[in-house]
């Protein structure tokens, strides 16, 4: 029931102070005036508090329980991030203020980009993009601007491995490239012979992530980098998830020219449900002139936004990006320090491998190789034996108050589950998840109907997820109330 449907005429929860302003009759055009009063819900304060508290408790979040969503890095978001982001000095400033008066905010952004450059091995960075996919688009536009600036007009192809995150080909296409898919090897790695076949003077860029979406490290990365560069193309790093490598090794050292990060994954800003994100883009020095404007710089006396980049791809977002997310990531980096970030990567990989070992006794793991921060379960045999789909297993996990892992991604493994526990989970939580998964697999063998009909205990059951994305209903109207 919506708050509108709970409304009772005349019930009051808030009283506005008496207006001190004298009423005047303005000559508004009559067609602009409201014909009847605004239909706001009328409820008491406890009604409102209960309404929203009950709604919030129906939701599942990383603050409520384990959230092993592969590729999404649902790590715990330290509460100090929220505290710092809500400090008056940050919330009461406006980007239109003269920058001489917002030195604190500019210095934070400057230092953050310096840290991120160090972490990734890049030379310059823009904090403007508002999400990972937005960072990819920024990176692709930079690649395009680079080739065009050299008069190299033939390069219309972006190579993308078949294991890539779906946003990669979409971003490359949006930037005007023709996307060509690279088939992975049986092991799920880049196939060097396949790459060789596709490289030409028409290729602008290869988009890659390492570790890849199967959680595997591309061991031939130096060779790949050398091949791509000798063909005159650029190497792009999808760094949405840096959780296995922070403090251990750097995209810049592996030969990548452009990288985007997801501060709302690796750097502990909350995400999901379309909340604000941040997808900074870092580049090597030879590409810095193409970054979006303004770039935040520092001279002897102060920090300032530099708009003087004639070859810039332009603005990618208003102002400086999602500033509150930048504050959260900055807080996280300072809290962790270099050793802390390195430790987080080590624990993320350890947790993933521990859980992988537990689950390998229950279901088949897609790759026999040791994983990095995540791993993929291959459920195809299980599905054949039981007739229960991996989607059903995922739904059944909800009944045990666990969030489901990512399913049906990456696309190169069928009936798969992609699991990323992150470093913030303890051993007991990982063991409980494995025990519950084992129980659900048992249920699938002996009582498949209960799994196929799941979830049974959640506020809503199976949803029409296609229509939820294709025809979302954002507005409540009286007519469609139940």
Ligand X SMILES: *Cc1c(COP(=O)(O)O)cnc(C)c1O
405 near ligand X, judged by CB under 6 A: no
Cα distance between residue 225 and residue 229, in whole Å = 6
Identify the residue among 209, 243, 351, 422 touching ligand X (CB under 6 A): 209
Nearer to ligand X, 213 or 225 (CB): 213
262 near ligand X, judged by CB under 6 A: yes
Least Å distance between CB 133 and ligand X? 3
Identify the residue among 161, 277, 379, 421 touching ligand X (CB under 6 A): 277
Angle at 362 (CA atoms; ends 435, 161), nearest 5 degrees: 115
Nearer to ligand X, 172 or 440 (CB): 172
Least Å distance between CB 401 and ligand X? 25
Least Å distance between CB 172 and ligand X? 12
Q: Which stretch binds ligand X (CB under 6 A): 93-101, 191-199, 238-246, 387-395?
A: 238-246
- Interaction residues for ligand X, span 160-199 (CB under 6 A): 165, 167
Nearer to ligand X, 262 or 331 (CB): 262
Q: Which of 164, 109, 158 is nearest to 324 (CA)?
A: 109
Angle at 417 (CA atoms; ends 416, 422), nearest 5 degrees: 150
238 near ligand X, judged by CB under 6 A: yes
268 near ligand X, judged by CB under 6 A: no
Least Å distance between CB 236 and ligand X? 11
Nearer to ligand X, 404 or 451 (CB): 404
Nearer to ligand X, 71 or 386 (CB): 71
261 near ligand X, judged by CB under 6 A: no
Nearer to ligand X, 4 or 249 (CB): 249
- At which residue do the structure tokens 């080739």 appear? 147
Nearer to ligand X, 318 or 480 (CB): 318
Cα distance between residue 395 and residue 397, in whole Å = 5
Least Å distance between CB 238 and ligand X? 5
441 near ligand X, judged by CB under 6 A: no
240 near ligand X, judged by CB under 6 A: yes
Instruction: Please count the residues of this chain forming the interface with ligand X, following the rule CB under 6 A.
Output: 14
Question: In this structure, what token pair is assigned to residue 194?
Answer: 């396949």
243 near ligand X, judged by CB under 6 A: no
366 near ligand X, judged by CB under 6 A: no
- Interaction residues for ligand X, span 56-95 (CB under 6 A): 71-72
Nearer to ligand X, 121 or 277 (CB): 277
SS3 string, the chain, reads: CCCCCCCCCCCCCCCCCCCCCCCCCCCCCHHHCCCCCCCCCCCCHHHHHHHHHHHHHHCCCCCCCCCCECCCCCCCCCHHHHHHHCCHHHHCCCCCCCHHHCHHHHHHHHHHHHHHHHHHCCCEEECCCCCHHHHHHHHHHHHHHHHHHCCCCCCCEEEEECCCCCHHHHHHHHCCCEEEEECECCCCCECHHHHHHHCCCCEEEEEECCCCCCCCCCCCHHHHHHHHHHCCCEEEEEECCCCCCCCCCCHHHHCCCEEEECCCCCCCCCCCCCCCCCCCEEECHHHHHHCCCCEEEECCCCEEEECCCCCCCCCCCCCCCCHHHHHHHHHHHHHHHHHHHHHHHHHHHHHHHHHHHHHCCCCEECCCCCCCCCEEEECHHHHHHHCCCHHHHHHHHHHCCCCCCEECCCCCCCCEEEECCCCCCCHHHHHHHHHHHHHHHHHHHHCHHHHHCCCCCCCCCCCCHHHHHHCCCCCCCHHHCC
Least Å distance between CB 463 and ligand X? 20
Least Å distance between CB 207 and ligand X? 9
Nearer to ligand X, 133 or 451 (CB): 133
Least Å distance between CB 280 and ligand X? 11
Nearer to ligand X, 216 or 240 (CB): 240
Least Å distance between CB 322 and ligand X? 11
407 near ligand X, judged by CB under 6 A: no
- Interaction residues for ligand X, span 100-159 (CB under 6 A): 131-133
Identify the residue among 241, 266, 324, 386 touching ligand X (CB under 6 A): 241
Least Å distance between CB 168 and ligand X? 7
Residue 133, number of CB atoms within 10 A of its CB: 22
Do 213 and 163 meet the contact criterion of CB atoms below 8 Å apart?
yes
Least Å distance between CB 72 and ligand X? 6
Least Å distance between CB 265 and ligand X? 6
b/e map 342-371, b = 16+ CB within 10 Å: eebbebbbebbbbbbebbeebbebbbebeb
Nearer to ligand X, 132 or 321 (CB): 132
Least Å distance between CB 239 and ligand X? 8
Residues that bind ligand X (CB under 6 A): 71-72, 131-133, 165, 167, 209, 238, 240-241, 262, 277, 279
């Amino acid at each position: 029931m919506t708050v509108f449907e709970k409304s009772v005429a005349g019930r009051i929860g808030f009283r506005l102070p008496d207006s001190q302003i004298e009423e005047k009759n303005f000559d508004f055009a009559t067609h602009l005036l409201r014909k009847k009063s605004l239909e706001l819900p009328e409820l008491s304060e406890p009604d409102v508090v209960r309404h929203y508290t009950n709604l919030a408790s129906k939701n599942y979040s990383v603050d409520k329980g384990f959230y092993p969503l592969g590729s999404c890095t649902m790590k715990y978001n330290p509460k100090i991030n929220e505290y710092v982001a809500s400090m008056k000095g940050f919330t009461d400033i406006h980007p239109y203020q003269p920058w001489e008066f917002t030195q604190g905010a500019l210095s934070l952004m400057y230092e953050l980009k310096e840290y991120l450059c160090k972490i990734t091995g890049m030379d310059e960075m823009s904090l403007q993009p508002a999400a990972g996919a937005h960072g990819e688009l920024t990176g692709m536009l930079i690649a395009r601007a680079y080739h065009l600036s050299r008069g190299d007009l033939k390069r219309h192809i972006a190579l993308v491995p078949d294991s890539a995150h779906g946003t990669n080909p979409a971003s490359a296409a949006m930037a005007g490239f023709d996307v060509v898919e690279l088939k992975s090897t049986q092991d799920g790695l880049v196939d060097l012979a396949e790459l060789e076949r596709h490289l030409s003077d028409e290729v602008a860029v290869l988009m890659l992530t390492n570790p890849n979406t199967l959680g595997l490290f591309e061991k031939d990365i130096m060779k790949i980098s050398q091949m791509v560069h000798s063909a005159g193309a650029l190497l792009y790093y999808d760094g949405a998830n840096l959780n296995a490598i922070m403090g251990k090794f750097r995209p810049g050292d592996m030969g990548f020219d452009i990288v985007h990060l997801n501060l709302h994954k690796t750097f502990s800003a909350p995400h999901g449900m379309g909340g604000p994100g941040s997808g900074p883009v870092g580049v090597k020095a030879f590409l810095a002139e193409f970054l979006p404007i303004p770039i935040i710089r520092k001279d002897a006396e102060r920090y300032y936004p530099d708009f003087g980049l004639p070859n810039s791809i332009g603005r990618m977002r208003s102002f400086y990006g999602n500033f509150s997310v930048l504050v959260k990531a900055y807080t996280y980096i300072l809290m962790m320090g270099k050793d802390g970030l390195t430790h987080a990567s080590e624990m993320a990989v350890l947790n993933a491998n521990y859980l992988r070992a537990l689950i390998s006794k229950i279901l088949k793991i897609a790759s026999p190789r040791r994983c990095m921060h995540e791993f993929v379960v291959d459920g195809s045999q299980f599905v054949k034996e039981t007739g229960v789909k991996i989607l059903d297993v995922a739904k059944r996990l909800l009944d045990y108050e666990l969030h489901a892992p990512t399913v049906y991604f990456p696309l190169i493994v069928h009936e798969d589950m992609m699991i990323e526990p992150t470093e913030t989970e303890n051993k007991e939580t990982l063991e409980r998840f494995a025990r519950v998964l084992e129980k659900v697999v048992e249920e699938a063998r002996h009582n498949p109907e209960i799994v196929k009909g799941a979830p049974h205990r959640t506020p809503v059951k199976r949803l029409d997820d296609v229509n939820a994305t294709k025809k979302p209903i954002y507005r409540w109207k009286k007519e469609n109330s139940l």
